Amino acid sequence: MPQPLEGYRIIDMTEVWAGPMGTSLLGDLGAEVIRIESYPRASMTRPVQLATMNPQQRAAIPGDPSRPWDLSTTYHLANRNKLGVALNVRHPRGRRLFERLISMSDAFVIGYSAGTIKRMGLDYESLRALKPDLVMVSMPGWGERGPYQGYATLGSGLDAFSGHMHLRGYPDSDPTTTPAGVFHSDATGGLILAFAIMTALHYRESSGEGQFIDLSQAEVLMTHLARPILDWSMNHRVMPPQGNSDPAACPHGAFPCKDDGSWLVIAARTDEQWRALVKAMGEPSWAEDPSLQTLLGRLEQKERVERGVAEWTRTRQQEEATAWLRAAGVPAGPVYDTPSLLNDRHLRERRFFVTSDHPPANPYERADVIWRMSGTPSASRIPTNNLGEHNREVFCGLLGLGDAEFEELMAESVIGDEYRPGAEIDSD
């Protein structure tokens, strides 16, 4: 069955998570995505040697693998449904191969710091000469133009710049030690990238014109922080770190359960939800206090309310308390660790997780396509590519190179499928 983006070809030269995830979403919708990885310089998310992998990744890998760069969880996370090639675009012969691919493609995404594409001769005006109706996206941290041109950053820098790192800490701790190492900017950047490309391709269908999209990941993230930004601009109030609380709900947070180390989240925004919670807790006397029967009253006594709720949750198993509260009409849910999430019966029934069996990595489970379309069902068609896995398919099959020329390019390291020890990391 034809997919929504079938027939479109996207060239992906992005790194880490935001760009790769966005182009994976396009691949999920049927686009042919060709991922060009730098070579012989190494990708930021592909460890050249086992010793350079983080301890968690090393512990999960049996034996002494000869291709550690194909085992990175970070790379596997965001690169399904793509053809992967490794190409030195700075080499004259590599540059010609790249230009041929651009001339045959609909969109090109690059994720280098602002100004890099101009220095490399990969700016939009140069590439339009090869493909006049090309759609191109550049997605530096602060966009291509402006006083911060040349500044490089990843998710942690964007999280700090936007104020999000400050907000997602706890009131009694500093923002540099509390936040986990997962940054919201990567998720927002990936989604808006896919949206921007599809919008530009849609416009091209009616106008025949491509266009350049200057995407600032910092600006994308800040649109998700409307409340603290508007609270300052309208009221001159600085929103403090929130922890698990919400200024418009009480109780609202994570509460300990009877099981060792298990927690339950409860979010009561209305008086009706509060009354349901009180009933579910067996109507303790403290909760019958008239001053707690309105949201404003509960917010004024937040510590007292949440201390009382925690006393009740500590007497209940996580699963039991979750089911009991949901049945009573109280918004509640378990705080999962990763094994619990992978075994959740709802996600299992929806077949959200699929098994990827693609050596040299051991079989593992990963998230599948994040939507269900009744007319054009999508699927994980292509597992995450090994380094240079599709070199021959793309350069010989699509571009028509002969075997002799292909082998010559391999010998000259214009293209490749393995890194040399000590390879330089591509971090532009």
CA–CA separation, 170 and 179 (whole Å): 9
Model confidence over 222-250: pLDDT tens digits? Answer: 888 888 888 889 999 888 888 888 888 99
- Of 298, 314, 337, the last residue of a domain is 337
Same domain, 149 and 286: no
What CATH number did the domain enclosing 319 receive? Answer: 3.30.1540.10
The residues near 307 (Cβ < 8 Å, ≥ 6 apart) are none
- Of 307, 337, 367, the last residue of a domain is 337
Structure tokens, 303 = 């510590």
Q: Would residue 122 count as lying in a domain?
A: yes
Structure tokens, 34 = 């060709």
Same domain, 99 and 184: yes
Structure tokens, 78 = 């965001």
Q: Would residue 37 count as lying in a domain?
A: yes
Same domain, 308 and 384: no
Same domain, 295 and 359: no
Find residue 9's DSSP bridge partners: 32
Same domain, 262 and 157: no
Same domain, 166 and 190: yes
Same domain, 16 and 158: yes
The residues near 370 (Cβ < 8 Å, ≥ 6 apart) are 25, 28
Model confidence over 133-152: pLDDT tens digits? Answer: 999 999 888 787 888 777 77
Same domain, 332 and 382: no
Over 60: is that where the pLDDT of 155 sits?
yes
Q: Would residue 419 count as lying in a domain?
A: no
Same domain, 166 and 257: no
Q: Give, in order, the Cα–Cα distances in Å from 348 to each of 258, 341, 367, 418.
A: 26, 10, 11, 36
Instruction: Name which residue leads in pLDDT, 155 or 252.
Output: 252
Over 80: is that where the pLDDT of 287 sits?
yes
Range of the domain at 285: 252-337
Q: How many domains does one find in the chain?
A: 2
Q: Would residue 238 count as lying in a domain?
A: no
What CATH number did the domain enclosing 210 receive? Answer: 3.40.50.10540
Model confidence over 43-85: pLDDT tens digits? Answer: 888 877 665 566 666 665 655 577 888 888 888 889 999 999 9
Model confidence over 157-210: pLDDT tens digits? Answer: 778 777 888 887 788 777 666 666 677 778 888 889 999 999 999 999 999 999
Instruction: Name which residue leads in pLDDT, 105 or 150.
Output: 105
Q: Would residue 16 count as lying in a domain?
A: yes
What global pTM score does this model have? 0.86
pLDDT at 73: 83
pLDDT at 49: 67
Same domain, 292 and 257: yes
The answer to whether the CB of 181 falls within 8 A of the CB of 16 is: no
Same domain, 272 and 366: no
CA–CA separation, 10 and 33 (whole Å): 5
- Residue 126: closest CA among 175, 75, 89: 89
Over 60: is that where the pLDDT of 362 sits?
yes
Same domain, 393 and 360: yes
Q: Would residue 197 count as lying in a domain?
A: yes
